Amino acid sequence: MTDSWAAFGADLHIEPVGSGLRSGLMGALREAVRTGRLAPGTRLPSSRTLAVDLGIARNTVADAYAELVAEGWLTARQGSGTRVAQRAGAAGPKALRGPARQVRRRPTHSLMPGSPDLSAFPRAEWLRASRRALTAAPDRAFGYDDPQGRIELRTVLAGYLARARGVYADPERIVICSGFVHGLGLIGKVLRQRGVREAAVESRGLDIHRNLLTAAGLATPCVAVDEHGAETGELGSMRRVGAALLTPAHQFPTGVPLHPDRRAAAVDWARSTGGLVLEDDYDGEFRYDRQPVGALQGLDPERVAYLGTASKSLAPGLRLAWMVLPGEWVREVCDAKGGPEWMTGATDQLTLAEFIASGAYDRHVRAMRLRYRRRRDQLVETLAERAPDFRVSGIAAGLHAVLELPEGTEQSVVQAANWQGLALEGLSRFRHPDTGPGRDGLVIGYGTPSESGWAGALDALCRVLP
């Protein structure tokens, strides 16, 4: 089955060198095998096919093949064609020159934050949605299209976000992008073009987000984070700040929601200064012990840019995210994105549109909410039994929790976990460079393991705690 392509003639890039065609062809084939470009077992084109491709006589190719078989470079068997022979000590592809790479053992278990359970991706439902979407898709969907995104997806997203997240989401305000990072980079570029010099970020967060804004030419001062979320009242004293990146529904990584007074303060700051709040709603669908916290964007759609993603609800490999922008920002962001060549893949957009419209997305989110809540409960119960001195926080929503550690123990715990094949992140990993040392802790991504690997990951965690 793997060689079914051979019946149609395989392509082979080869350049005979030297004065004679046969000797030149043999030399080129030897070099390709010697360097590993043609790996052992690779099936070569038939002599007829290669002769036509090279514009030489078939007998020339057949003679070259026969001699290389005699020399041991190739093998030829009836029904199996001509293949590269297995050779003792054969070289692999030449390695790129540079410093030797350190080989790391792949972790047995992972509790890294930021990922859902990839084993739970709804393959069958996604496939059905894809078939329906492709059957109904107009021909123009497969051409160069609007970089704003397919209207089918923007339309269903507008309804879903309004219903589930309280977002004011007219389809004409939505721009589809290839992940949150892509969207943030585009907004950062437009902010700089508009003359903004600084974009505030939370004192706890992802360095990749700060780096994106920095790459756009923006400084990234921070606002402090406490048990009520970001201290947005600080924005009023930051005279050069023209934008603020916040995680209102579930602060990353501490897990606390932004207090209502601070939500109002963020919007008031944006209104009074003409600033823009960038709302990262990275896992807003997952809440357990509280009423859902609506999107900040609903308070003022002209002063808040809402960014959502399918990375946590479905899978990051889809590379599907969306921005709901103030009306005057849409065209500028699309211009920053570029022409139709930079649009997100149309087939995945159409599939997600059908997946949401059919109700499959809501069903999947509800099922995963139950799964993650069960894991959250098991985490809390197991730690209460086996490590009762450790406090767990940030557990009312999301896919991760914070486990507080005794002062001075964070790095040793992370190192011990790595030695035992457990991937973990310490809380200090997410501290802004301008922020002083905080409490020691672990950010435990309980959504990351597969269902079969969850119990083992939880047991490994308990073993490395001091």
Provide the residue ranges of all domains of the chain, joining segments of one domain with +. 4-84, 109-117+362-464, 121-361
| CA atoms of 6 and 94, how far apart (whole Å) | 27
Homologous superfamily of 109-117+362-464: Aspartate Aminotransferase, domain 1 (3.90.1150.10)
This prediction has a pTM of 0.83
CATH 3.40.640.10 fits domain 121-361: yes
| CA atoms of 357 and 342, how far apart (whole Å) | 25
**What pairing do the DSSP bridges indicate for beta strands 401-404 and 441-444?**
antiparallel
| CA atoms of 448 and 455, how far apart (whole Å) | 12
Sign of CA dihedral 95, 100, 105, 109: negative
Q: Distance of CA 149 to CAs 137, 267, 289, 347, Å?
A: 14, 28, 35, 11
Length of the chain equals: 466
Residue from 148, 146, 141 nearest 175 by CA: 148
Place of tokens 């078989």: 69
- Asked if residue 230 lies in contact with residue 257, where contact means CB atoms within 8 angstroms, the answer is no
Q: Do domains 4-84 and 121-361 have the same CATH topology?
A: no
Question: For the chain, how far is it from start to end, CA to CA, in angstroms?
Answer: 54
- Asked if residue 344 lies in contact with residue 182, where contact means CB atoms within 8 angstroms, the answer is no
H or E element that contains 77: strand 74-77
- Asked if residue 259 lies in contact with residue 249, where contact means CB atoms within 8 angstroms, the answer is no
**Residue 288 is encoded by which pair of tokens?**
């357990």
| CA atoms of 32 and 21, how far apart (whole Å) | 16
| CA atoms of 352 and 340, how far apart (whole Å) | 19
| CA atoms of 449 and 374, how far apart (whole Å) | 13
| CA atoms of 12 and 7, how far apart (whole Å) | 14
Residue from 441, 448, 368 nearest 400 by CA: 448
**pLDDT of 88:** 58
CA angle in degrees (0–180, nearest 5) for 80-85-87: 155
Strands (E), 215-263: 222-223, 225-226, 229-230, 241-246
**pLDDT of 103:** 43
| CA atoms of 321 and 187, how far apart (whole Å) | 14
Judge if the upstream peptide bond of residue 388 is cis by omega within 30 degrees of 0.
no
Per-position pLDDT tens, the chain of length 466: 444 444 445 688 888 877 688 888 989 999 889 888 899 989 999 989 998 888 899 999 999 999 998 888 999 887 778 999 987 554 444 444 444 444 456 789 999 999 999 999 999 999 999 999 999 999 988 888 888 999 999 999 999 999 999 999 899 999 999 999 999 999 999 999 999 999 999 999 999 999 999 999 999 999 999 999 999 999 999 999 999 999 999 999 999 999 999 999 999 999 999 999 999 998 888 888 767 788 999 999 999 999 999 999 999 999 999 999 999 999 999 999 886 656 788 999 999 999 999 999 999 999 999 999 999 999 999 999 999 989 999 999 899 999 999 999 999 999 999 998 999 999 999 999 998 888 899 999 999 999 999 999 999 999 999 8
Q: Distance of CA 118 to CAs 103, 281, 313, Å?
A: 25, 20, 10
**pLDDT of 129:** 97
Residue from 40, 39, 42, 32 nearest 3 by CA: 42
| CA atoms of 342 and 145, how far apart (whole Å) | 9
> How far does CA 222 lie from the centroid of its chain?
25
- Asked if residue 334 lies in contact with residue 175, where contact means CB atoms within 8 angstroms, the answer is yes
Just give the CATH number of 4-84: 1.10.10.10
> Residue 317 burial (CB < 10 Å; 0-12/13-18/19+)?
exposed
**pLDDT of 105:** 60
**What pairs with residue 76 in β-bridges?**
82
- Asked if residue 183 lies in contact with residue 158, where contact means CB atoms within 8 angstroms, the answer is no
Q: How many helices (H) and strands (E) does the chain have?
A: 13, 17
Residue from 237, 313, 322 nearest 280 by CA: 322
Return the half-sphere exposure (C-beta side, CA atoms, 13 A cut-off) of residue 260.
2
Number of other CB atoms surrounding residue 423 within 10 Å: 18
Strands (E), 310-391: 321-324
